Structure 1
């Protein structure tokens, strides 16, 4: 008797205990079970290939054993890597990860939010196009949220991210240290999370360099959109000497646009990304970037969402690393210290 035919009663008989104790073991309560009895139950379950009914377990525990991930574009390597790590950590906690890809469409994002609420997910990892409305809807439905980006003042929700202002300032300072004095900046859409922080960090760095200047262009977070956004710059007689991108995904498009225009990187134009995905190591030339701690972000996000003992909204600031490489004028592998 194995698999779907096996019941809790079968496990109880094999372990020499009751079905209630089997339930306590697989639901971690509500009553304690001795280590020896727990061992016998788990051994019996393994021998019989017993799998508890997840729906019955959910009803009993008052949770669905599922987490939601809301992101703007799954094809972006950063979000693909994030989803991979989140899925792994969620599985370690016996949870299923549900992914909602808004594809840059606010209406699609809104539909995903409704789906997560209807399915009563135990929590949501949020990278939103429209932050405040999304958070308000989840709060009204009593769904815990961890946002992976800055949120507007007055919005009460836990956040988990690097210091975007400091990282942008460090990246800009690094480009200026090479002697580049004209910097083109490719941000996300003007109202998207993090855009204002990137601009603030860049302006902070420029304050100490009065002869340097920056010009900005807003672009959807897409390599194709970024390619199109910088093409006019690269047709000019004097294009920006360095390009700062708010994501690696956009930087990939900028590298292509430079090649298309016959510009050499970094000899004619330097390029700096932001995210530090593994794809940076296989571009031509290798892409300099700010490395975000994606795996640690995923681990902490899952832990925060599943910690029912603490629902206080807190801001968690993670370390980042500035990773110079050939695209900014450094040798690949030149490392700078991780942020404090």
Structure 2
């Protein structure tokens, strides 16, 4: 592999001049000299060390992303959107999958600090994550879910509580008076807001409704197992609000396996609004998060180096056949 020294020897210059050419300074280079250096570099297939160049300016041109489960369609769509925005700014996206484990999340945090990433976007497995290592290292962080005031990081998020209330209210407006909440693990990010929004709607529209809550892993397989037991009961709920699309797909599978019709026997809503939600059977009513807009704003906020902020973005309730009659999207 050719080095800067090899290029300098072929171009008849010093290695410092080669550096000036590829780093656009700090000193000027005569046009004819620059041309000789570039021609020599092309002949030798020389590529400057991008990391070394970035570090010389105090940056690594990398953005870290930590998610609970990259196999979850929502996080895959989020990663794609963030990668596109980061690439437009000349950055590379590094992904850490915490596999829904707090200890793995801490390992990724330590690894990103060690690798000196410029900034981090995080979707934590915890409702109250410890992101202090990033603050200690001077690495800006944006979480894409609600954070408590005690966490020293910025956040960009929809109003989970209002969104949960909107989806639950939609189910109750169909007249369903027995309804189940499929929430994430009790300590997971957003679980409190899902529960609070769900109960807000029940108290407002159907205070006498029969309600029940189930905590499942954020995975369709585990949600399906829980739903199979719940829906096999004679006293099964008439409707199910799910905190993620993945859980909703598990409930749809359980209904199919038990011979229950959706929505005639059981109505179902999801949350996240992934592309797949429009192509389940039946198409899934779900809260849609504005993934491209959130990705754009997160990268811009990190690049600007602003102080800690808490920003709320709009959500949309995409109304489809899984909860009853087909309708139109309802914005927040």
TM-score w.r.t. length of structure 1: 0.85
- Structure 2: how far apart are the matches of 1:272 and 1:4? 58
Q: Does 1:173 align with 2:169?
A: yes
Instruction: Single out whichever of 252-261 and 130-139 deviates more from structure 2.
Output: 130-139
- The equivalent position to 1:293 in structure 2, one of 274, 290, 314, is 290
**Equivalent residues of 1:8, 1:22 under 8 A apart:** no
State whether residues 98 and 105 of structure 2, in contact with CA within 8 Å, keep that contact through their aligned partners in structure 1: yes
Structure 1 residues 131, 327: CA separation in 2 closer, same or farther (over 3 Å shift)?
closer
Does 2:299 align with 1:306? Answer: no
Corresponding residue of 2:103: 107
- Superimposed CA distance per residue, residues 232-253 of structure 1 (whole angstroms, 9 cap, x where no aligned partner): 2111112111100000011110
Among 194, 210, 213, the alignment partner of 2:210 is 213
Aligned to 1:143: 139
1:281 to 275, 278, 296: 278
Q: How many residues align?
A: 318
Give 1:123-142 correspondences, 5 Å limit: 123-130=119-126, 132-142=128-138
Q: What pairs up with 1:5-154 in 2 under 5 angstroms? A: 22=21, 25=24, 48=42, 51-130=47-126, 132-154=128-150
The CA deviation at 1:156 is 2.5
SS of the equivalent of 1:129 reads coil
Q: Give yes or no for contact 1:206–1:213 (8 Å, CA) kept in 2.
A: no
Aligned match of 2:247: 250
* 3-state SS of 2:157 partner: strand
How far apart are the structure 1 equivalents of 2:164 and 2:219? 19
Partner of 1:324: 319
Distance 1:4 1:269 in 2: 66
Tell me how large the CA RMSD over aligned residues is.
2.7
How far 1:105 moved relative to its partner?
1.9
Shift of 1:19: 5.6
**Cα offset, 1:204, TM superposition:** 1.1
